[in-house]
Amino acid sequence: MTDRLVMTLALLGTLGIAAIVLHVTLDIVLRSTLSVSMPATLQMVTRYYMVLLALMPLGWVEWKNRMISVEIAADMIPARLQPWIDGFVTLFCLLIYLVFMWATWGKAVDQFNTGSYVMALDRRLPVWPTYFVLPLAFFLASLVCCVRGLFLLTGYPTQPQQAGAE
């Protein structure tokens, strides 16, 4: 179940990249051939596509253990203590994600209430929806941490390749 959710996020990221490529390519082709510019291309890329692409894969990266890590002293720690360290790091990450989720949720609600938008070629482009991407991404990453924590408590392998998920 969790692997399917994580892979769905990865697929959404792939579709997002394809959408950027199509959108920008279409804008360039129209501008070059017909001297017509698509409204809000820059704003769509910076306010929608890039926000989604930067944050939605956060849960996938967390699940695959692909976060940046420093393992200078990891080899010096006894193997029996490693699960405790993994548990501490998982709990710490969970707390950080929850704090970020809480903080960004408040900002998203404020932007929704004010109807935040940007102007692009005399058109209003609502940007308040993108503010909800941040708390959603942090929620999904915290959900992954919760699942990893349960796996650590039950002894289930926390590395996807160990569990046969790759």
Q: What is the pLDDT of residues 124-148, one digit of tens each?
A: 889 899 999 999 999 989 998 998 8
pLDDT, position 165: 46
Q: Which residue has the higher pLDDT, 77 or 90?
A: 90
Name the residue ranges covered by the structural domains of the chain.
2-154
**According to the per-residue pLDDT averaged within each range, which of 29-38, 91-100, 141-150, 154-163 is highest?**
91-100
Higher pLDDT, 109 or 86: 109
The mean pLDDT value of the chain amounts to 83
Alpha carbon distance 48, 20 (integer Å): 10
Q: Residue 89's pLDDT band (boundaries 50, 70, 90)? A: confident
Q: Classify 120 as helix, strand or coil.
A: strand
Q: Report whether 56 contacts 12 (CB < 8 A).
A: yes
How high is the pLDDT of residue 33?
Answer: 93
- Residue 157 has φ and ψ, to the nearest 5°, of -60, 130
Is 0.75 surpassed by the pTM of this model?
yes
**Per-residue model confidence as pLDDT tens digits over 21-73:** 999 999 999 999 998 888 788 888 888 888 888 887 787 788 777 776 666 77
CA 18 to chain CA centroid, nearest Å:
17
Q: What angle do CA 67, 144, 68 make, to 5 degrees?
A: 5
The two three-digit tokens of residue 112, written as one number: 């929704």
- What pLDDT is attached to residue 109? 95
State the pLDDT at residue 78: 81
